[in-house]
């Protein structure tokens, strides 16, 4: 049941996204999908409710991060189902309302898909049993709410508000993660259902305090408690369905949920009992005061939400069974009436074009049904009997009178009650009364989607109030049991007698009714500006400036400086390593004159290349260095390398002919500082690499790899050329990767040259020397034969696919230079790209051959005995090598022909 | 013999780095070509040089010749040479495109072409 519950909104989000593709014109569908998906979740929860009411819980756990003992664990108990039913129930109405409110906005798909993902995040968070799962859901709501608040991203205010909300909630989320980890590591418990108060009491006091403080930071930021409350009014920049959803039943309630969820285990800590009631109580009163001062209907409701959240945090912090019972009632009551009130404000804005409550009046004439619904919803918000809001205030007062600071609490709750009554009046009743203002002139009743959800919630608020004492206790029992940690039996009554509770309640209502007369004057009252948005904005601006500074310093845009940075970072540690190395005891200083000559060729070549000022000299010097290296390879027993190097040197000449047909080799601009800096870095690199070479050459032993390959090459891979068996058998997967890279690089080059789409019909004059053409024609067959010879003997003697491919490609390149690229390509019969593809396919086929009984790339051999006692070994490594041959031939000839063909 | 060749490796690296740090694309291309040569020779020398025999197994003795070269670095270098060629070709083509589009081979002049104009900046902010 739990996976279905969470999968529903996720799948629905994808359906919405898919619909946007398939039926972009159906802009009303996304809202309907959200309503139906939410309704499905609600129905699922309603079906599970009897089980929960019996005192059982629904659990499910799947393996996730086994090493950390983090299961994907979910648990649905009384507390969870209360929140989950609010999330899905109000989600249904928001889908319906949003469908009408958003109209034919082209971005509806994105809007509702994000809302659905947000809903998924909420459901994950409130059904999570493992800390890690909770965090994932928690962060999902932070990110999606950022996207929702900033939905009107063309509006700078919306972007700022979204950033503000993200900054506060994600910083809080990060703190909470720290707290959860501290708690988890300290108690060795990563699940809510396993965590007990005894576990927490056994903790080191400092660890417990830090864990708690960090977790509370998460809860208080999410629930917009003072001094983090600034993001919530700012979040009103979002479209109203978002405000109605996030600030009634979901996002901001998550902090309250977290506190209630942790109450059984952490409630005993002293910090808990002081911070939460004080912060909650203060926020409760502050929010109520700020609420009545606002003119914008949504901001009135936003601050009243801040106040209500403070109220709930206060109750959760008190942590007595009565307080938690009151919390259950309040969560339910607030979710219902606040969603209704927000939707009312949205509909008024939608129809009358303004949310300024001082400019609104007389809307009852044009919008009677909305007015009636809003009025009834306001009864619950105002805390008047017989609505659920009244019950929530009564139970709160009752819980408060059990505390030591009873009268302080009573005064706080009563003044909050009085002010909230004013807010309810101002937002839900006043716009409909009085004379018709200019703004109200154009208004008319919207479609049912704009007022029916309000009506339903309003009816719910009163009905749940009337029937509450009879119906709610079984659910509240489970809520309290889950959040108090002990079984509890609830009673709800409207009237407890003429006692202190009655008196406080009467004071709240009476005071409220008295204040309502002046509600239009309240926005004018000067009041201390609580400017946390300004503080947060300053922090955000500072961060942006810091980022800009870092960017300016690190992303300066000079490629040589980037290169220098990378080189210095790589070379300095090397230098340090070589400096600390011991004496080079295993090395002998010899000076074979032949080797010295080769070394001199390489060194002089490199030096000349670095100093050269002309193109031809650069290429010649580079060639000399390459040639010297070829000789070194040959001299020290690496014929395969020597052949490959020699061929690549030849093909590189083609590259340079191409490169320097267009690129100048300039004399460096006379910048001495740059010159010396480059010299210094180059010198350091030279020293470090020299040192490293000696250090590594000096190492002793450790050639077990070599011994393995030499011992198994012939018996295991049936080849005597160890280098080749490594390439095509032992490490064939690497080779497969390498030829793929090669093919990709070649395709990239072809794309860069934009050769692919060019018509090949251009006639090119052949004006190359006749001698060259004749030579090419004579040499080509030799090269082809030589390539096949090298390929066939490659497994046992120097040669193989790489070298053979290069030799054959050299023939193609020769033709391209002697004639032109088209003639050269015609030699191949097929386009070079097809050769590459065919080569990769052949290599993959060879790799996959036999996978039905052996692991990938296991060599399969068959030996044919030919006449005259000749044995012919055929095997998949040879086939693989043929793939390598084809890829190398394709790549090299593609490059040679394409580059030569490119015109200035 | 490693002692003789190690400074050559160092010199190759030093020259390659010097060229890479220049402003003109042409120098950087030469530097890149030298750099892959330097890396290949580095692996070859640092893994120890033999007496000059190739690592080819004698089918009768099932052994490689005494003092033969180590086949493992050779296998590494063989593919590195070919890949280095591919990378160099790619870089040269890229440089060609850059030169054709921006009209300059001066790397310090490129950032101006890279940065969004003030107008685009305004749209982003």
Q: Where are the domains of chain B?
A: 2-50+68-107
Q: What is the pLDDT of residue A577?
A: 84
Read off the tokens for A564. Answer: 């220098």
Do A608 and A617 meet the contact criterion of CB atoms below 8 Å apart? Answer: yes
| pLDDT one-digit tens code per residue, A384-395 | 888 888 888 888
User: In which residue ranges of chain A is pLDDT below 50?
Assistant: 756-763, 904
Dihedral sign for Cα atoms in the order A327, A329, A334, A335: positive
Q: Which B residues 2-31 touch A at CB under 8 Å? A: 2-27, 29-31
* Gap between the Cα atoms of A142 and A136, Å rounded: 10
Q: What is the pLDDT of residue A766?
A: 58
Burial class from Cβ neighbours inside 10 Å (0-12, 13-18, 19+) for residue A274 reads: exposed
How would you classify the pairing of strands A70-76 and A58-65?
antiparallel
Which of B4, B17, B109 is the best substitution to test chain A (most A C-beta atoms within 10 A)?
Answer: B17
Dmax over Cα atoms in chain A, in whole Å?
120
Do A492 and A468 meet the contact criterion of CB atoms below 8 Å apart? Answer: yes
Go through A844-861 and write b for each residue having 16 or more CB atoms within 10 A of its CB, e for each that does not: eebbebeeeeeeebebee
The single-letter DSSP state of residue B70 is: P
* Gap between the Cα atoms of A376 and A387, Å rounded: 9
- How much of chain B is helix, strand and coil, in % rounded to 5? 70, 5, 25
Q: Do A666 and B105 touch (CB under 8 A)?
A: yes
* Gap between the Cα atoms of A147 and A871, Å rounded: 71
SS (H, E, C) A140-197: HHHHHHHHHHCCCCCCHHHHHHHHHHHHHHHHHHHHHHHHHHHHHHHHCCCECCCCCH
* Gap between the Cα atoms of A794 and A783, Å rounded: 16
Long-range CB pairs of A844-851, under 8 A, 24+ apart, other chains included: A844/A736, A844/A883, A845/A879, A845/A883, A846/A876, A846/A877, A846/A879, A846/A880, A846/A882, A846/A883, A847/A732, A847/A733, A847/A736, A847/A876, A847/A880, A849/A876, A849/A879, A850/A876
Q: What is the pLDDT of residue A215?
A: 93
**Coil, strand, or helix at residue A436?**
coil
Among candidate residues A15, A28, A188, the one with its CA nearest the CA of residue A108: A28
> Does the model's pTM come out above 0.90?
no
As a whole number of Å, the CA-based R_g of chain A is 39
Q: Do A637 and B111 touch (CB under 8 A)?
A: no
* Gap between the Cα atoms of A693 and B10, Å rounded: 8
Which of A563, A571, A690 is the best substitution to test chain B (most B C-beta atoms within 10 A)?
Answer: A690
Dmax over Cα atoms in chain B, in whole Å?
76
Do A714 and B59 meet the contact criterion of CB atoms below 8 Å apart? Answer: yes
CB contact set of A499 (below 8 Å; sequence gap of 6+): none
* Gap between the Cα atoms of A330 and A223, Å rounded: 15
Give the start-to-end residue ranges of the domains of chain A.
277-524, 731-904
Query: Which helix (H) or strand (E) segment is A866 a member of?
Result: strand A861-866
Partnered with residue A65 across adjacent β-strands are: A70
Q: Do A681 and B81 touch (CB under 8 A)?
A: no
Among candidate residues A324, A302, A304, A329, the one with its CA nearest the CA of residue A314: A324
Query: Which helix (H) or strand (E) segment is A423 a member of?
Result: helix A406-424
Q: Do A636 and B49 touch (CB under 8 A)?
A: yes
Q: Which A residues 867-896 touch B at CB under 8 Å? A: 888, 891-892, 895
Do A295 and A458 meet the contact criterion of CB atoms below 8 Å apart? Answer: no
* Gap between the Cα atoms of A232 and A306, Å rounded: 7
* Gap between the Cα atoms of A760 and A826, Å rounded: 12
Q: Do A564 and B21 touch (CB under 8 A)?
A: yes
Do A217 and A172 meet the contact criterion of CB atoms below 8 Å apart? Answer: yes
Do A388 and A378 meet the contact criterion of CB atoms below 8 Å apart? Answer: no
Do A249 and A123 meet the contact criterion of CB atoms below 8 Å apart? Answer: no
Q: At what angle do helices A297-318 and A406-424 cross, to 10 degrees?
A: 160
DSSP symbols for A743-790: HHHHHHHHHHHT-TTS-TT------S-HHHHHHHHHHHHHHHHHHHHH
Do A841 and A883 meet the contact criterion of CB atoms below 8 Å apart? Answer: yes
What residues of chain B lie within 8 A of the CB of A596, using their CB?
4
Q: Do B105 and A591 touch (CB under 8 A)?
A: no
Q: Pick the residue from chain B with its C-alpha nearest to A601.
A: B8
CB contact set of A822 (below 8 Å; sequence gap of 6+): A760, A764, A897, A901
Q: Do A693 and B37 touch (CB under 8 A)?
A: no
* Gap between the Cα atoms of A353 and A356, Å rounded: 9
Q: How many CA atoms lie within 13 A of A49 on its CB side?
A: 17
Q: Dihedrals φ, ψ of A295, to 5°? A: -100, -35
**Coil, strand, or helix at residue A296?**
strand
Q: Which B residues 59-118 touch A at CB under 8 Å? A: 59, 62-64, 68-72, 74-75, 77-79, 81-90, 92-97, 99-100, 105, 107-108, 110-111, 114-115
Q: Which A residues 572-601 touch B at CB under 8 Å? A: 584, 587-592, 595-596, 599
Q: What is the pLDDT of residue B123?
A: 46
Q: What was the ipTM of the complex prediction?
A: 0.91
What residues of chain B lie within 8 A of the CB of A883, using their CB?
none
Query: CA of A378: how far to CAs of A339, A341, A382, A383, A424, in Å?
Result: 11, 7, 6, 8, 5
Read off the tokens for A323. Answer: 């307080």
Q: Do A668 and B115 touch (CB under 8 A)?
A: no
Read off the tokens for B123. Answer: 């749209």
What is B2-50+68-107's CATH topology?
Helix Hairpins (1.10.287)
End-to-end CA distance of chain A: 68
Read off the tokens for A669. Answer: 């601009």
Q: How many CA atoms lie within 13 A of A592 on its CB side?
A: 14
Query: Which helix (H) or strand (E) segment is A62 a member of?
Result: strand A58-65
Q: Pick the residue from chain A with its C-alpha nearest to B50.
A: A636
What residues of chain A lie within 8 A of the CB of B27, using their CB?
665, 668
Q: Output the tens digit of pLDDT for each of chain B's 125 residues.
A: 778 889 999 999 999 999 998 888 888 888 999 999 999 999 999 888 877 788 888 877 777 787 788 888 899 998 899 889 888 988 888 888 888 777 777 777 776 655 554 444 444 43
CB contact set of B26 (below 8 Å; sequence gap of 6+): A615, A618, A659, A660, A663, A664, A665, A666, B105
DSSP symbols for A655-703: HHHHHHHH---PPPPS-HHHHHHHHHHHHHHHHHHHHHHHHHHH-----
What residues of chain A lie within 8 A of the CB of B15, using their CB?
606-607, 609-610, 682
Tokens 């002046």 appear where?
A518
């Amino acid at each position: 049941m739990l996976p279905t519950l969470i999968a529903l909104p996720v799948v629905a989000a994808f359906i919405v996204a898919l619909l946007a593709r398939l039926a972009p014109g159906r802009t009303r569908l996304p809202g309907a999908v959200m309503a139906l998906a939410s309704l499905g979740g609600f129905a699922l929860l309603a079906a599970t409710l009897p089980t929960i009411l019996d005192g059982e819980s629904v659990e499910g756990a799947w393996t996730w991060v086994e090493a950390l003992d983090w299961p994907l664990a979910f648990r649905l108990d009384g507390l969870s189902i209360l929140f989950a039913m609010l999330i899905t129930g109000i989600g249904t109405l928001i889908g319906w309302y949003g469908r009408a409110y958003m109209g034919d906005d082209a971005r509806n798909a994105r809007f509702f898909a994000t809302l659905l993902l947000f809903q998924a995040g909420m459901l994950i968070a409130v059904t999570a049993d493992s800390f890690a799962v909770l965090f994932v859901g928690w962060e999902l709501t932070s990110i999606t709410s950022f996207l929702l608040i900033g939905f009107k991203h063309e509006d700078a205010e919306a972007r700022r508000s979204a950033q503000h909300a993200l900054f506060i909630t994600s910083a809080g989320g990060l703190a909470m993660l720290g707290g959860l980890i501290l708690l988890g590591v300290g108690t060795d418990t990563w699940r809510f259902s396993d965590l007990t108060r005894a576990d927490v009491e056994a903790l080191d006091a400092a660890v417990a305090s830090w864990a708690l403080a960090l977790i509370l930071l998460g809860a208080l930021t999410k629930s917009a408690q003072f001094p983090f409350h600034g993001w919530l009014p700012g979040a009103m920049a979002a479209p109203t369905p978002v405000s109605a959803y996030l600030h009634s039943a979901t996002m901001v309630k998550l902090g309250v949920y977290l506190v209630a969820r942790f109450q059984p285990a952490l409630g005993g800590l002293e910090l808990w009992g002081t911070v939460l009631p004080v912060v909650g109580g203060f926020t409760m009163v502050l929010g109520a005061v700020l609420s009545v001062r606002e003119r914008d209907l949504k901001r009135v409701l936003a601050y009243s939400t801040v106040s209500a959240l403070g109220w709930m945090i206060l109750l959760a912090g008190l942590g007595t069974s009565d307080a938690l019972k009151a919390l259950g009632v309040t969560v339910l009551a607030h979710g219902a009436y606040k969603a209704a009130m927000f939707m009312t404000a949205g509909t008024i804005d939608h129809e009358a074009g303004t949310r300024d409550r001082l400019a609104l009046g007389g809307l009852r004439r044009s919008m009677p049904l909305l007015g009636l619904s809003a009025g009834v919803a306001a009864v619950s918000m105002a805390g008047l009997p017989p609505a659920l809001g009244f019950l929530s205030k009564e139970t709160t007062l009752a819980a408060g009178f059990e505390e030591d600071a009873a009268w302080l609490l009573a005064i706080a709750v009563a003044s909050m009650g009085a002010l909230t009554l004013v807010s309810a009046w101002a937002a839900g009743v006043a716009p409909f009364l009085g004379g018709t203002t200019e703004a109200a002139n154009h208004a008319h009743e919207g479609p049912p989607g704009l007022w029916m959800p309000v009506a339903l919630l309003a009816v719910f608020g009163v009905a749940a109030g009337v029937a509450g004492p009879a119906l709610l206790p079984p659910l509240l029992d489970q809520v309290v049991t889950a959040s108090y940690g002990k079984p509890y039996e609830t009673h709800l009554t409207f009237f407890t007698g003429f006692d202190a509770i009655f008196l406080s309640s009467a004071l709240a209502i009476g005071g409220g009714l008295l204040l309502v007369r002046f509600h239009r004057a309240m926005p004018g009252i000067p009041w201390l500006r609580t400017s946390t948005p300004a503080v947060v904005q300053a922090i955000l601006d500072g961060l942006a400036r810091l980022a800009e500074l870092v960017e300016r310093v690190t992303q300066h845009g000079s490629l040589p400086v980037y290169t220098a940075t990378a080189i210095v970072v790589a070379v300095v540690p090397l230098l340090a390593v070589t400096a600390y190395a011991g004496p080079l005891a295993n090395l002998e200083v010899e000076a074979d004159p032949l080797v010295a000559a080769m070394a001199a060729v390489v060194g002089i070549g490199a030096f000349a290349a670095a100093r050269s000022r002309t193109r031809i000299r650069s290429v010649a010097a580079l060639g000399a260095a390459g040639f010297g290296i070829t000789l070194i390879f040959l001299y020290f027993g690496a014929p395969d390398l020597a052949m490959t190097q020699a061929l690549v040197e030849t093909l590189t000449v083609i590259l340079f002919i191409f490169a320097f047909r267009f690129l100048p080799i300039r004399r460096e601009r006379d910048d001495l500082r740059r010159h010396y800096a480059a010299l210094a870095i180059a010198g350091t690199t030279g020293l470090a690499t020299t040192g490293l070479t000696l250090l590594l050459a000096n190492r002793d032993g450790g050639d077990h790899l070599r011994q393995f390959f030499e011992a198994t090459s012939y018996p295991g891979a049936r080849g005597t050329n160890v280098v080749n068996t490594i390439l095509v058998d032992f490490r064939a997967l690497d080779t497969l990767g390498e030829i793929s890279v090669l093919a990709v690089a070649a395709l990239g080059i072809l794309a860069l040259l934009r050769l692919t789409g060019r018509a090949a019909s251009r006639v090119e004059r052949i004006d190359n020397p006749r001698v060259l053409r004749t030579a090419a024609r004579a040499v080509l067959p030799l090269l082809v034969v030589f390539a096949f010879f090298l390929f066939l003997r490659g497994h046992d003697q120097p040669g193989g696919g790489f070298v053979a491919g290069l030799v054959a490609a050299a023939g193609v390149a020769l033709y391209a230079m002697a004639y032109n690229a088209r003639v050269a390509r015609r030699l191949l019969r097929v386009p070079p790209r097809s050769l590459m593809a065919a080569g990769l396919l052949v290599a993959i086929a060879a790799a996959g051959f036999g996978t039905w009984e052996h692991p990938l790339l296991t060599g399969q051999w068959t030996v044919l005995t030919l006449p005259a006692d000749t044995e012919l070994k055929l095997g998949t490594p040879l086939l693989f090598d043929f793939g390598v041959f084809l890829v190398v031939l394709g790549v090299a000839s593609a490059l040679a022909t394409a580059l030569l063909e490119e015109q200035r | 013999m490693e002692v003789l060749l190690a400074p050559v490796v160092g010199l190759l690296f030093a020259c390659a780095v010097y060229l890479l740090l220049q402003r003109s694309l042409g120098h950087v291309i030469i530097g890149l070509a030298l750099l892959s040569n330097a890396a290949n020779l580095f692996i070859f020398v640092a893994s120890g040089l033999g007496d000059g025999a190739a690592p080819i197994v004698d089918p009768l003795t099932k052994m490689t010749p005494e003092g033969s070269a180590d086949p493992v670095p050779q296998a590494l270098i063989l593919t590195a040479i070919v890949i280095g060629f591919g990378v160099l070709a790619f870089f040269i083509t890229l440089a060609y495109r850059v030169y054709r589009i921006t009209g300059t081979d001066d790397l310090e002049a490129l950032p101006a072409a890279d940065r969004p104009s003030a107008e685009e900046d305004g749209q982003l902010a």
